[in-house]
Structure 1
Amino acid sequence: MAKDFTSQQVVDGYDQHIRQLIPGYEVVHQQIQALLKTYLSESAHILVVGCGTGYELRYLLETFPDWQFTATDLSATMLEKARATIHDLNVEHRVQFVLGDVSDLKDKTGFDAALSILVTHFVPFSNKLLFLHAIQKRLKAQGLFLTFDLTEVSSEQEQHALKNIGESNGLTEAQTSAMLKRMSDDFYALSEQQTFDVLEQAGFSQIKRFTQILNYQGFMAFSK
């Protein structure tokens, strides 16, 4: 059964659960922060696709005080959690929250960068190209795109490695077994080569992988 991201219980437990599934989760975000700092100017407008609980939004707001953000999510529950996560920063004037898909945004927004972290693997195969192209056409020329997702799990050994790493981080055997069963319901994971191909088809160039944790891989690309 797929996870229900409209459930308050699921949303409240998300930040802890994701760290048990993906060790080095904070390191991934440190890399994202470093890449944004490297390629963007002191004043930038960032699109956060699927902002979730607001974890990445909060540290980016704190790190880059002159940046503006547009944060989207399909779940109203997640969006409210993100609002609560950043509430004490008093930066509401720097963030526009949008309940909906990227396609709900205006076509000519002109973002300097877009982030899709642990989001693209939930997009069905038949919609993935449209989803990525919707992001691409909302970026400025040479706008930076960063994505981090589960890629294709193609062997029992890779499944066991994911299970073992979850259990080493505090998940029970029942939880990791349920996680593996959910993969067929929750994830539409591409292989590494398929990821390169669909990003190129969506209008991105200079595509390369910037990080990997087992089957979780991060890719960076630039809008043509």
Structure 2
Amino acid sequence: MAKDFHSEQVVDGYDDHIRKLIPGYEQVHAQVTAILETELQASDVHILIVGCGTGYELSLLLKQHPEWQYTAIDPSLTMINKARERLSGVTGAEQVSFLQGDTSVLNELMHSAQFDAALVILVAHFVPETSKEQFFKDIYTVLKPQAVLLTYDLMKTERSTDLKILQNFCCKNGLTQVQGQKMLERLQHDFELISAEHYVTVLKTCGFRTVSSYTQFLSYTGFRADK
């Protein structure tokens, strides 16, 4: 059964569970922050966060760059409310605008917002394969020239043992055996995985000039795409 990200119970337990489930969860966010800080030197930076979840990456960025502007979108109002709660009292929280919906809501911003960078962390592997190109095109359209897109997703691999290796790692990282088995079932039924090679092709088809990997942990890979 697909995880219900509109459920209060699921969202309340998300932050603890995700760290057991995703290899390098905190490290990839630290890498993303380092890339953004190095690449974005302007004083009026505007970041797009697609699939903001409970607001962990937003809070991390705000604590270091409260002067930046952020637009965060998520299909789940429950997630957005949790993110708002997390940011309550954080300096710069007024710099964040939330939108409920998928990337199609970005069409409303095409003439009013242009972004210096977009973060799509642990999101695109849920997007149906037939919709991935449109998903990234929606994001590409609202990016400024020379803007950067940073992603992190699970890749489809040729080796049948790779998912078992991932399960083994996650169980060593805190998942119970039952949770590890449920993870495998969800990966088979709820995720829309494509190979790293196909992923790069999709991004280049959308118009990105260059695409390269900035990190990898087991079958999870982070890509940087430059407009």
**Shorter chain as normaliser: what TM range?**
over 0.9
Query: 2:6 is paired with a residue of what secondary structure?
Result: coil
Structure 1 counterpart SS, 2:53: coil
TM-score (norm 2): 0.95
Distance 1:214 1:5 in 2: 25
1:189 counterpart = 2:189: no
Q: 2:121 aligns with which of 117, 122, 128?
A: 117
In structure 1, the partner of 2:165 is 161
* CA offset digits 1:101-151 (Å, max 9, x no partner): 222122232100000000011110111000000000100001110000111
1:72-114 superposed Cα distances (whole Å, 9 cap, x missing partner): 0000000000000111215332010001122212223210000
Q: Take 1:14 and 1:42, find their aligned partners in 2: how far apart are those partners? A: 34
Does the 8 Å contact 2:214/2:222 carry over to 1?
yes
Q: CA deviation at 1:170?
A: 1.4
TM-score, L = length of structure 1: 0.96
The code of the aligned residue for 1:86 comes to L
Q: CA deviation at 1:183?
A: 1.2
- Which piece of structure 1 moves more, 19-28 or 114-123? 19-28
Partner of 1:6: 6
Aligned to 1:217: 221
Deviation readout 1:5-32 (Å, 9 max, x if unpaired): 0011111111111110123211111100
Q: Which runs of 5+ in 1 are unaligned?
A: none
Equivalent pair of 2:67/2:92 in contact (CA under 8 Å): no
- Select which of 105, 110, 121 maps to 1:107: 110
Match of 1:173 in 2: 177
Query: Is the 8 Å Cα contact of residues 54 and 85 (structure 1) preserved in structure 2?
Result: yes
* Structure 2 residue matching 1:113: 3-state secondary structure: strand
Work out the CA distance in 1 between the residues paired with 2:130 and 2:23: 30
> In structure 1, how many angstroms separate the alpha carbons of the residues matched to 2:160 and 2:198?
20
* Counterpart secondary structure, 2:13: helix
Q: Which residue of 2 aligns with 1:78?
A: 79
What code does the residue aligned with 1:131 have?
A: F
Q: Which amino acid in 2 is paired with 1:77?
A: T
Q: Report the equivalent of 2:26.
A: 26
Letter in 1 for 2:75: L
Amino acid at match of 1:185: H
In 1, Cα distance between equivalents of 2:91 and 2:114:
25
- The CA deviation string for residues 37-56 of structure 1, in whole angstroms up to 9 with x for no partner, is 11112420000000000000
* 1:54 matched residue in structure 2: 55
Deviation at 1:209, TM superposition (A): 0.3
In structure 2, stretches of 5+ residues that fail to align are none
Any idea what SS the aligned residue of 1:195 has? helix
Identify which range, 19-28 or 165-174, moves more after superposition. 19-28
Q: Secondary structure of the equivalent of 1:204?
A: coil
- State the distance in 1 between where 2:48 and 2:59 align: 14
Distance of 1:92 and 1:59 partners within structure 2: 12
**Match status 1:132 vs 2:133:** no
